[in-house]
Amino acid sequence: MVEIAETEGANKGKWSLPGDAAWWMFLTAEFSTLCMFFVVFAFMRHASPEEFKAAQGLLNPRLALANSLILMTSGYCMARSLHRLRQPQSQGSHARLWIIGAALLGIVFVGIKSAEYATKLELGLSFSSGTFWFFYYFLTGFHFLHVLLGIGFLLWIAARIGRGPVAHELQVQAESCGAFWHMLDLVWILLFPLLYLL
């Protein structure tokens, strides 16, 4: 396992990736897979620009912008939590509150996205409604499921912090969870203009 290290003694001033190295391999594979689908989406849009433009006009970019701001704020909460956990005398109480805040914002994101899905399905727009809608549901759905998974991770870490002193192992797990959550921020920042604006 690797950790972010600004520790006392001989390791002071050194830096490494936060969290577990195996977790970073998983994140890299997940992100690379999504990037491949982004490229395919761009190719298909180039082949059928009018179809994609018409379908894109049925989306609500304001909701997507709101969700972007919500996820970025949630990412900030997670960063603040990890900062608190790194403090030498940290007892975890403030870090736990920041993590819970990140999870709650994630739940708001899920609520807004679920409402958007419901609206589209009421209009009869599904996976089979065209190439654009297949990619819309696939890409956002993939991200949506990962956000749900991430919320579960956040709440699990918060519960563990609440049970007692923050051990080194728990800090590494929190760093891994933070890396996963920030990846979700990055993916949405790419999805937002790709699907809603361009």
Q: Which of 33-47, 51-65, 150-164 has the lowest mean pLDDT?
A: 33-47
Q: Give residue-wise pLDDT tens across range 20-39.
A: 566 667 677 777 777 787 88
**How would you classify residue 2: left for phi > 0, otherwise alpha for psi between -120 and 50, otherwise beta?**
beta
pLDDT the model gives residue 128: 81
Q: Is the pLDDT of residue 119 over 60?
A: yes
- CATH T-level fold of 21-47+61-197: Four Helix Bundle (Hemerythrin (Met), subunit A) (1.20.120)
Q: Give residue-wise pLDDT tens across range 48-77.
A: 888 888 888 899 999 999 999 999 999 999
pLDDT the model gives residue 67: 93
Indicate whether this model's pTM tops 0.75: yes
pLDDT the model gives residue 148: 94
**Mean pLDDT for all residues in the chain:** 81
SS3 content of the chain, % helix, strand, coil (to 5): 80, 0, 20
- Choose between 167 and 105: higher pLDDT: 105
Instruction: Give the amino acid at 175.
Output: E
For residue 182, what are its two tokens?
């920030």
Written as one string, the DSSP assignment of the chain is -------SGGGTT----SS-HHHHHHHHHHHHHHHHHHHHHHHHHHHSHHHHHHHHTTS-HHHHHHHHHHHHHHHHHHHHHHHHHTSTT--SHHHHHHHHHHHHHHHHHHHHHHHHHHHHHHTT--GGG-HHHHHHHHHHHHHHHHHHHHHHHHHHHHHHHHTS---HHHHHHHHHHHHHHHHHHHHHHHHIIIIII-
Q: What is the mean pLDDT of residues 73-82?
A: 91
Contact 103, 5 (CB under 8 A): no
